[in-house]
Amino acid sequence: MEIDINCDVGEGIGNDAAIMPYISSCNIACGFHAGSALIMKRTIDLALKAGVKIGAHPSYPDKANFGRSVMDLPYEELLANILYQIGAMKGMVEGSDALLHHVKPHGSLYNQACKDEGVARAVVNAITSIDTELILYAPFNSVLADIGMKEGLTIKYEAFADRAYDDALRLLDRSLEGAVLSDKHHIYRHVHSMITTKKVVTINQKELHIEADTICVHGDNPAAVEVVKFLHQKLQEDGIKVI
């Protein structure tokens, strides 16, 4: 068995260099919720040095709330914002003689695209306008994944190591108790189940089917470095290759 481990990086947290050796792909902030042109470049360099696949991590233009507030933008404006971010990241990666591998929306943009067709179409149309070879990271059974597939994009189903799920197979709202996981042993059981049995246990102890090609650890989780290191080690010990 094999799995991709991805992490949201370039967000100014300061742990990117420590995370890179234990992941296989990364999602670099494009400056709209966190980061800057200089941080983007430095994070690209870290990823290339570690042999980590690079993705763009576009968001709503919302630095004040780290991209975690819903913004009701007109379609044209939302599309332009996403195009700008992916285009900037692609250009910077290619300027380092490498290729952009994937796109994964951030925060509220990601959550809205998973259930709102208009937002999902803005994300997908931005990607297809720039490069149809880019892979879209999106959750199983989401509007975003469905529209991406219909438009011919390659989809990697993403599941989350450090977040709890509700009974609709959506991430539990961060404001609720138990939404963010930090205990590495609990996280590993959570991840191992999703990979090996394709089951996830919800916050209400309901067991649901899930597909996972890539597992995300949030870089802003205070336990991020410890978690990715532990996951990488335990997965290898259990015969699951990190690719």
| Per-residue model confidence (pLDDT) at position 204 | 96
Proportion of the chain above pLDDT 90, given as a percent: 100
Residue 217: pLDDT band (50, 70, 90) is very high
What does residue 33 show for φ and ψ, rounded to 5 degrees?
Answer: -115, -25
Q: How many CB atoms within 10 Å of residue 242?
A: 17
Torsion angle, CA of 216/217/218/221, rounded to 10 degrees? 160
Task: Tell me which residue of 137, 161, 178 sits closest to 224, measured CA to CA.
Answer: 161
Amino acid at 177: E
> From CA 80, how far away is CA 75, in angstroms rounded?
9
Q: What is the pLDDT of residues 90-104, one digit of tens each?
A: 999 999 999 999 999
pTM of the model: 0.97
| Per-residue model confidence (pLDDT) at position 2 | 97
| Per-residue model confidence (pLDDT) at position 162 | 97
Proportion of the chain above pLDDT 70, given as a percent: 100
Residue 37: pLDDT band (50, 70, 90) is very high
> From CA 221, how far away is CA 237, in angstroms rounded?
24
Q: What is the pLDDT of residues 1-23, one digit of tens each?
A: 999 999 999 999 999 999 999 99
Which single residue is written with the structure tokens 């709202």? Answer: 173
> From CA 240, how far away is CA 233, in angstroms rounded?
10
